[in-house]
Structure 1
């Protein structure tokens, strides 16, 4: 069986599932950082699927879905549209949102 990139519909399924599980500060945070999913370039592993779906961003951090490893990740970026760091976490979107929320709050305090 060959690997096929995730569809935009499946990405939205993950987003809607996460939104149904979030509340309070985390839901407010997600509402501030979420974007319409966009395919971003990642030089090492993203070529075969024409990039990875980015679903949220704040500052120089993005939340994106690694459909090779089937999980959400947080990475830095310098240039809009290009993910600088490849990670292979297999996190649910809610976990990635919580982690980025903690990162942002630790920087601002």
Structure 2
């Protein structure tokens, strides 16, 4: 079985399911940061599927769905439309939103930042 990028319809299914699971606080923040999903470029692994779906923007960070790893991530961006950091967290959307809440209230990144495989030196 070969990998295929997630469709926008499948992505909306994941977003809607996550919204059903969100706490009131998560829902409030989600309503502020969410955008209509758009594909953004990512140089490392993003070309294979034509980019990754960005679903929220907060400051210089985006929340996006990594359909290779099947999870939501938060990464920085310097240029609109280009994700600067590849992440391979397998987080649910509500976890990514909770991380935004933690950053806003406590100033710490609670999700961890799983990156791509690194060669052994």
1:65-76 aligned within 5 A: 65-76=65-76
TM-score, reference length from structure 2: 0.85
Task: Kindly indicate whether structure 1 or structure 2 has the higher relative contact order, using CA contacts under 8 Å at least 6 residues apart.
Answer: 1
In structure 1, runs of 5+ residues without a counterpart are none
User: Deviations along 1:7-63, whole A, 9 cap, x unmatched?
Assistant: 000110111111111232211100000000000000010001010000011101110
Aligned to 1:37: 37
> What is the total number of aligned residue pairs between the two structures?
107
User: What TM-score comes out, normalization by structure 1 length?
Assistant: 0.94
Structure-2 residue corresponding to 1:46? 46
Residue 105 of structure 1, CA deviation: 2.1
Query: d(CA) in 2 for partners of 1:35 and 1:4?
Result: 23
Q: Does 1:13 align with 2:13?
A: yes
CA distance in 1, matches of 2:48, 2:21: 32
Structure 1 vs Structure 2 CA RMSD:
0.9
- Whose Rg is larger? 2
Instruction: Tell me how far apart the structure 2 counterparts of residues 47 and 102 of structure 1 sit (CA, whole Å).
Output: 31
What is the CA–CA distance in structure 2 between the aligned matches of 1:80 and 1:42, rounded to whole Å? Answer: 11
Match of 2:90?
90
Distance 2:40 2:50 in 1: 8
Gaps of 5+ in 2: 108-121
